Amino acid sequence: MSATPETGPEPELPVIKTRRFSVSLVWIVPIVAVLVGLSLVIHSKLQEGPTITLNFKTGAGLTANKTEVKYRSVVIGHVSSVELSDDQSSVNATVKLDKQAEGFTREDSLFWVVRPRIGAGGVSGIDTLLSGDYIGADIGQSNSRAKRFKGLENPPPITYGEPGKRFTLHTQDLGSLDIGSPVYYRKIPVGQVVAYALDADGKGVNIEVFIHAPNDAYVTENTRFWNASGIDVNVGANGIAVKTESLTTLLVGGIAFRAPDYSPNDTTAAEDKTYELFADQPSALAPPNGRAQYLSLRFDQAMRGLRVDAPVEFLGIEIGKVVSVNLDFDEAKRSFPINVGIVVYPQRMGQAHKKLLKALNHNPDDIAATAQIFSTFVDNGLRAQARNGNLLTGQLYIALDFFPKAPKVAFDLSARPIAIPTLPGSLEMLQEQLQAMLEKINKLPVERIASNLDDNLLVLRKGLAQFNSKTLPGVQTTLADVSKTLQSASSTLAEDSPQREKLNETLDELGRMSRSLRDLSDYLGRNPESLIRGRPNNAAPIDLQGPPRN
C-alpha cells in the first residue's frame, strides 16, 4: 500500500465475495408440474371446439353434462347446461362441440332432439329407449357462421346430404298428406313429402317433395303427380274395381307420379320445378285441360241432385264441371231461379277444337271473340240442359247440346261470364208432356162417351138376341135342308165317282159352318163387348172343329 507526504497512508478496500444463484432440488417438481399443467391447458384450449346455444320449446330429454350431440351416430359434442330463456318462453341448451365438429356452426345447420316417434315416415328413435334421448345434428352448406340456433321440434325428413331433387306440388288442400308421406313411382317408394305451406293468398297449398337419386331422373317435364291416398273404388260394367298404392297410403296418405304413356321428346325435369297435384290418376293422365272458360247458366226449375263438381258434357264428351250452384230471386216474376256456374276446357274437345280454331281464326285469349263465337252457337240452337245422370241416386249433370227447333233468344255479348241460355231438363219436359196429356184426357166427355157405349151395348144385345132367336135357326134349317138334298144326290151317285167325293167334302164343310155359327152365337151372347174391344189375347180358343151338337 503506498503513501504520500500530504495525505498519509491510503485505507484498504474491503474484499467483496460473490456467490452464484442456485435452486434447491425441492422446487424442481412443482415447476415441472406447473409447466405440464400449462401445456395441458394450452393443448385443451387448442383442441376445444366451439360453444353454441340451441333454443328449444321445452327441455324434455335434455340433461346437463349427460345429453350428447350425434351426427351419423358419432358423438360430436355434449350439453353443458340447460336453462330457461330470458323471457321464460323456451329453453336454451349450451352445447360444447368437439374440435372436428366446427363445421356445425354454419348458419343453416340443423339440430333436433332424437326420441321415439311414430309418424308418416314410420317409427324412429327406438334406440333411445335404452341409451336415452340425444341431440341429432345435420351439417349445413352456408359459408356464414352462427352461435345461436333454433332447434327443430321434429327431425328433418332429409338429412346427411341425401342425393336427389326437390319439387313443388300445388293443390287446393293438403288432404291426408303429412311430412314423411311416401311418394311412389310405379308403386315403388322413391321419395317423401318434406314440407308444406299455404300460398301467399291462402287459396291453395304448396307441397314440397324430395325424390331420391337415381329415381329423380324419372321426373320429367310431362310428369303428372296425383294423390294416391285412400282407396279408389270404381263400379263399372265389369264389376267393382278397387285400387290403392299400398297399405301405407291408407294410413298416412301418399303421392304417386308418372308421365303419360305417349310422351315424345320428354326430358328430365330441373330441380324445384312446380307441378299440379291432381286428385286421382285418371284426371292426372288425361289430356291437358288448356285454358279454362267460365260460363253462367240460369234455370227456372228445381235443380235437386245437381252438385258442385258435377260433370259438364258437350255432345256426350266431358269438357268441364260445375263450380257453383246458387239460389236467386226474380222480383219481376216472383220466382226463385237457380244460377249455375260452370267451367269448361275447350281443349278437351281434341281435334274438333283445333279445327274450330283454324276455321274461325280464333284467339282463345280474346274474350270478345269468344263471346261472338258463342253467340253464333246460340243462334244455331246451343242450349244448356240439366239431365239425369243416375236413376238410383238422382244426380244431375249439365249437357251442352244443339236444339235446332229451340226458340230464338237474345244473347248478351257484354255479359261476363258468358251466359248460355237453358232448356228444362229431360225429366221436366217429360213431366210437362204427361201433364199436357192428362189435361187433354180431363177435357174429354168421358161420362157421355160411357153413356153412349152403354146404349150401344144394349142395342147390340138386342140385335144378338134377335139373331140367335130368328136368323140363326133359319140359317141352320136352310143348311139342314141343303145337307139333306146333298145326301140324296150323293146316294144316286156311284160310290167311286169323283162327284160323290166332292159332294161329301161339301157336306163336311156345311157341318163345320153350322157348328161355327153356333159357337160364335154362344160367345157373342156371353161377351157382346168383344165386337168393340175385340177378342182378348188370353181368351180360350174357339173350337171350330169340335163334335157336332145333337
Nearest partner of 315 among 367, 363, 352, judged by Cα: 352
Q: Are 325 and 286 in contact (CB under 8 A)?
A: no
Which helix (H) or strand (E) segment is 79 a member of? strand 74-84
Q: Counting beta carbons within 10 angstroms of the beta carbon of residue 101, is it exposed (0 to 12), middle (13 to 18) or buried (19 or more)?
A: buried
Q: Residue 75's pLDDT is what? A: 92
Nearest partner of 302 among 431, 207, 175, judged by Cα: 431
Q: Residue 540's pLDDT is what? A: 59
Beta strands in 440-541 (DSSP E): none
**CA 377 remoteness from chain centre:** 32
Q: Residue 487's pLDDT is what? A: 66
Local structure of 95: helix, strand or coil: strand
d(C-alpha 408, C-alpha 528), whole Å: 55
71-87 pLDDT, tens digit per residue, is 988 999 999 999 999 99
Q: Are 82 and 64 in contact (CB under 8 A)?
A: yes
Whole-Å CA distances, 86 to 57, 63, 96, 151: 13, 19, 21, 17
d(C-alpha 293, C-alpha 295), whole Å: 7
d(C-alpha 486, C-alpha 499), whole Å: 11
Q: Say if pTM beats, i.e. exceeds, 0.75.
A: no
498-526 and 446-466 are packed helices; what angle lies between their axes, rounded to 10 degrees? 140
- 68-71 and 164-171 strand pairing: unpaired
Whole-Å CA distances, 79 to 46, 91, 129, 150, 544: 20, 13, 19, 15, 117
Q: Are 156 and 109 in contact (CB under 8 A)?
A: no
Residue 310 backbone dihedrals phi, psi, to 5 degrees: -65, 145
d(C-alpha 56, C-alpha 94), whole Å: 11
Nearest partner of 191 among 171, 211, 161, 176, judged by Cα: 211
Q: Residue 533's pLDDT is what? A: 59
Q: Residue 223's pLDDT is what? A: 94
CA angle 217, 218, 219 (to 5 degrees): 90
Q: Residue 37's pLDDT is what? A: 79
Nearest partner of 175 among 272, 249, 282, judged by Cα: 249
d(C-alpha 69, C-alpha 162), whole Å: 20
The cell for 210 is: 324430395
Local structure of 40: helix, strand or coil: helix
- Residue spans of the chain under pLDDT 50: 1, 3, 235-239, 544-546, 548-550
HEC per residue, 334-387 = CECCEEEEEEECHHHHCHHHHHHHHHHCCCCCCHHHHHHHHHHHHHCCEEEEEE
The cell for 165 is: 331433387
d(C-alpha 194, C-alpha 210), whole Å: 6
Nearest partner of 162 among 216, 117, 124, judged by Cα: 216
Name every residue whose Cβ is closer than 8 Å to that of residue 432 and which is 6 or more positions away in sequence. Answer: 424
Q: In what order do the strands lie in the sheet with 311-314?
A: 418-419, 293-299, 338-344, 317-327, 311-314, 396-402, 382-388, 422-423
57-69 pLDDT, tens digit per residue, is 999 889 999 999 9
Residue 173 backbone dihedrals phi, psi, to 5 degrees: -150, 165
